[in-house]
């Protein structure tokens, strides 16, 4: 809100306005008279129009103001900062060595489809908080192949924008426009593990050539890319270990795993070991994959989901769930059997047990000892109190006033 005010001690008019979120009060030479007030109003209108221009210089209107050096110094930085498309290209090139192939592909797709069309020709320091919020509101109106863009997808796009702008703010010394903008709230995806009866039904109904694959998925806790990219050189049959060292990403085998802790040795349960022995006996020596397709290639996750997995669940009358739920099944079965949570976290490749307690505690009540059994047993063993109902005192009851 801008206005013209009067200083009582001098009778002169001054402008009271906001620029870049800062309240400014600038003195004029005009007196509090009708003609001078009209001149001050014209000055204020010109000022408001000029402030909308990216090249606005505070010192052009108020050369003697101490604020001119601050604001115009910011304009100088803004003018020497690069365009978003140029800096984004530099940022991607610098970050590529630490990214996986699938992440690099995602960043490039988001840049080409969402960020460059919107901000490509704008200098990085000229992108304001209002621009960012308007862009996020625009994303919420777009539709993907499954309908409106989800908060998760919008947050991912905004995350890449945030990283570029924050890095630019550090290098070119301007205030980061993303400050205070929080991600959209997302609905947490619930774990929907299978129970043993459902697992049994699935294993009996699946194609015989995929039964060993599903046994290993259900009882090892491997991720999709880890089991689809599993090679025989990473199966230690003598020690009964699956060495998780690689993952299959978009049909290509990548060294390394999702996180540092994901690189792990998974002990084989007896049924997993038996399934892998059958696979070994029937393998093609020239094929490196533990679970190859009929043409000798690794299993394609999308094809398996659409052509095998979902039709199988429909045939059995089970709710549609992603194959990833086999991993949740492993976790709930191990925890429900009383295995040490830290050991289970290691098997799954988690850094600690925090995710186990957050995701799986509702499936296994004793996981967090929230059923009261433990404390009840302690009290029974340590205390010998005879607990009885308090004695009733009829005399007191008889003395109570009766309702008329």
Determine the average pLDDT of the residues in 55-79.
72
**How confident is residue 133, by pLDDT bands cut at 50, 70 and 90?**
very high
Residue % of the chain over a pLDDT of 70 = 84
Give the per-residue pLDDT at 311. Answer: 96
pLDDT of residue 101: 77
Other Cβ atoms within 10 Å of 211 Cβ, number:
16
Q: Which carries the bigger pLDDT value, residue 259 or residue 315?
A: 315
Has domain 196-360 been given CATH number 1.10.443.10?
yes
Please say if the pLDDT value at position 73 is more than 70: no
Binned at pLDDT 50, 70 and 90, residue 258 comes out as low
- Which residue, 149, 155, 172, 349, is CA-closest to 256? 349
For residue 245, report the phi and psi dihedrals to the nearest 5 degrees. -130, -15
Q: What is the mean pLDDT of residues 221-243?
A: 94
Residue 396 — pLDDT band, cuts 50, 70, 90?
very low
Q: What percent of the chain has pLDDT over 90?
A: 50
Domain boundaries, the chain: 3-80, 84-172, 196-360
Which residue, 296, 274, 275, 272, is CA-closest to 284?
A: 296
CA dist., res. 400 & res. 66, Å (int): 81
**pLDDT per residue over 88-115, tens digit each?**
999 999 999 888 777 888 999 999 999 9
Residue with tokens 């009271």: 16
Q: How far is CA 373 from CA 29, 74, 91, 357, 386, in A?
A: 82, 64, 55, 18, 20
Is the predicted pLDDT of residue 391 greater than 90, yes or no?
A: no
Alpha carbon dihedral 295, 296, 301, 304, in 10-degree steps, equals 50
Quick: pLDDT tens for 349-386: 887 788 787 787 777 665 554 445 555 565 566 555 44
| Least confident stretch, 108-122, 127-141, 146-160, 174-188 | 174-188
Q: Is the pLDDT of residue 264 over 70?
A: yes
Answering whether pTM is above 0.75, one says no
Q: Examine the pLDDT at 203 and tell me if it is beyond 60.
A: yes
In this predicted structure, what is the pLDDT of residue 397?
Answer: 41
Which segment of 19-23, 76-80, 99-103, 171-175 scores lowest on mean pLDDT? 76-80
pLDDT score, position 333 = 87
| Structural contact between residues 189 and 324, judged by C-beta atoms closer than 8 angstroms | no
Q: What is the 3-state secondary structure (H, E, C) of the chain?
A: CCEEEECCCCCEEEEEEEECCEEEEEEEEEECCHHHHHHHHHHHHHHHHHHCCCCCCHHHHCCCCCHHHHHHHHHHHHHHCCEHHHHHHHHHHHHHHHCCHHHHHHHHHHHHHHHHHHHCCCEHHHCCHHHHHHHHHHHCCCEECCEECCHHHHHHHHHHHHHHHHHHHHHHCCCCCCCCCCCCCCCCCCCCCCCHHHHHHHHHHCCHHHHHHHHHHHHHCCCHHHHHCCEHHHEECCCCEEEECEEEECCEEEECCCCCCCCEEEECCHHHHHHHHHHHHCCCCCCCECCECCCCCECCHHHHHHHHHHHHHHHCCCCCCCCCHHHHHHHHHHHHCCCCHHHHHHHHCCCCCHHHHHHHCCCCHHHHCCCCHHHHHHHHHHCCCCCCCCCCCHHHHHHCCCCC
CA atoms of 339 and 267, how far apart (whole Å): 13
Q: What does the pLDDT read at residue 398?
A: 44
- Those residues whose C-beta lies under 8 Å from the C-beta of residue 97, and which sit 6 or more positions away, are none
CATH architecture of structural domain 84-172: Orthogonal Bundle (1.10)
């Amino acid at each position: 809100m801008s206005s013209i005010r009067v200083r009582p001690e001098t009778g002169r008019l001054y402008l009271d306005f906001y620029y870049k979120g800062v309240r400014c009060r600038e003195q004029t030479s005009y007196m509090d008279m009708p003609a001078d007030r009209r001149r001050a109003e014209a000055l204020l209108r010109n000022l408001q129009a000029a402030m909308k221009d990216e090249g606005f210089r505070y010192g052009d209107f108020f050369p003697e103001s101490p604020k001119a050096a601050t604001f115009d110094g910011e304009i100088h930085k803004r003018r020497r900062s690069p365009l978003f498309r140029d800096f984004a290209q530099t940022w991607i090139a610098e970050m590529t060595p630490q990214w996986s192939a699938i992440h690099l592909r995602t960043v490039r797709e988001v840049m080409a489809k969402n960020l460059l069309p919107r901000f490509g020709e704008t200098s990085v320091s000229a992108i304001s908080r209002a621009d960012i919020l308007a862009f996020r509101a625009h994303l919420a109106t777009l539709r993907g192949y499954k309908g409106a863009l989800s908060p998760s997808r919008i947050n991912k796009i905004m995350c890449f924008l945030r990283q570029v702008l924050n890095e630019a703010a550090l290098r070119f010394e301007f205030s980061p426009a993303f400050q205070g903008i929080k991600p959209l709230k997302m609905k947490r995806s619930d774990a929907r593990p299978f129970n043993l009866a459902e697992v049994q039904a699935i294993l009996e109904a699946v194609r015989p050539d995929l039964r060993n694959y599903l046994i290993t998925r259900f009882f090892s806790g491997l991720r999709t890319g880890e089991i689809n990219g599993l090679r025989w050189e990473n199966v230690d049959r003598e020690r009964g270990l699956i060495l998780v060292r690689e993952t299959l990403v978009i049909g290509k085998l990548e060294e390394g795993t999702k996180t540092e802790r994901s690189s792990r040795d998974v002990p084989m349960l007896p049924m997993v070991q038996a399934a892998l022995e059958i696979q070994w006996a029937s393998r093609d020596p020239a094929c490196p994959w533990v679970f190859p397709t009929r043409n000798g290639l690794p299993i394609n996750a999308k094809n398996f989901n659409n052509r095998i997995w979902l039709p199988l669940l429909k045939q059995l009358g089970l709710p549609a769930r992603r194959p990833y739920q086999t991993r949740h099944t492993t976790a709930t079965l191990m925890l429900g059997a009383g295995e040490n949570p830290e050991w289970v976290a290691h098997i799954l490749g988690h850094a600690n047990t925090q995710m186990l307690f957050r995701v799986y505690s509702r499936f296994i009540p004793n996981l967090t000892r929230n059923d009261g059994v433990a404390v009840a047993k302690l009290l029974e063993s340590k205390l010998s109190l005879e607990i009885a109902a308090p004695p009733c005192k009829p005399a007191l009851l008889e003395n109570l006033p009766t309702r008329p």
